[in-house]
């Protein structure tokens, strides 16, 4: 599936090919902190299947619990998270689903780091729904 991503302000845009069956939600504490949310949804794209169309992301390198160094790419203007990748020898980008035009067609197929999940994030279906803010 071809996807098109762009940051909130439009300074950065990309195109990539992904396998929707590999869409994942991660509940690790790093993903919670780096996304500002209870979890982060991503889908991998091989490096050769990713094409930056506009702009240059800023990068922050974090050290994971495993000791691996991961680049976190984001827009330096609006702060939208775009992807992560191994700091050395990256073979794939973990693209952030929230910045993709096709995000509605990429439902997560699995959840990882569930031991770190916030208890209230596990079942949001019973909550009251408001379709749009006025």
pLDDT digits (tens, 9 = 90+) for 36-59: 999 999 999 999 999 999 999 999
- Residue 129 lies inside a defined structural domain of this protein: no
Query: For residue 107, what are the domain limits?
Result: 2-119
67 with 88: CB under 8 angstroms? no
Burial annotation 42-76 (CB, 10 A radius, 16+ → b, else e): bbbbeeebbeeeebebeeeeeeeeeeeebbbbbbb
Per the prediction, the chain carries an average pLDDT of 92
Neighbouring CB atoms inside 10 A of 124's CB total 9
**pLDDT value of position 120:** 85
Is residue 31 assigned to a domain? Answer: yes
Q: Is residue 82 part of a domain?
A: yes
Q: How far apart are CA 59 and CA 80, in angstroms?
A: 12
pLDDT of 82 over the 80 cut: yes
**Distance in angstroms (rounded) separating the CA atoms of residues 66 and 45:** 22
Task: Report the domain count for the chain.
Answer: 1
**Residue 60 placed within a domain:** yes
pLDDT range class, residue 96, cuts 50, 70, 90: very high
Residue 115 pLDDT: 92
The answer to the question of residue 110 being in a domain is yes
Q: Is 91 within a domain?
A: yes
70-79: per-residue pLDDT in tens? 999 999 999 9
Helix (H) or strand (E) holding 130: none
CA nearest 91: which of 48, 35, 43, 33? Answer: 48
What pLDDT, on a 0 to 100 scale, did the predictor assign at position 128? Answer: 67
Residue 133 lies in a domain: no
Report residue 66's pLDDT band, with 50, 70 and 90 as the boundaries: confident
For residue 125, tell me if it sits in a domain.
Answer: no
CA-CA distance, 98 to 39, in Å (whole number)? 12
DSSP 89-114: S--EEEEEGGGBTTGGG---SEEE-G
CATH number of the domain residue 44 falls in: 2.170.150.70
List phi, psi (to 5°) of 116.
Answer: -95, 0
| pTM for the whole structure | 0.89
């Amino acid at each position: 599936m071809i996807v098109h991503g762009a940051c909130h302000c439009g300074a950065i845009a990309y195109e990539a090919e992904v396998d929707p069956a590999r869409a994942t939600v991660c509940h690790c504490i790093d993903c919670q902190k780096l996304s500002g949310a209870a979890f982060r949804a991503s889908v991998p794209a091989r490096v050769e299947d990713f094409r930056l169309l506009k702009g240059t992301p800023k990068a922050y390198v974090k050290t994971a619990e495993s000791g691996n160094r991961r680049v976190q790419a984001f827009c330096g203007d609006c702060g939208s998270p775009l992807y992560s990748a191994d700091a050395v020898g990256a073979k794939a980008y973990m693209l952030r689903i929230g910045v993709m035009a096709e995000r509605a067609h990429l439902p997560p197929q699995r959840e990882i780091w569930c031991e770190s999940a916030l208890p209230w994030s596990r079942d949001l279906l019973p909550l009251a729904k408001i379709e749009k803010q006025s």
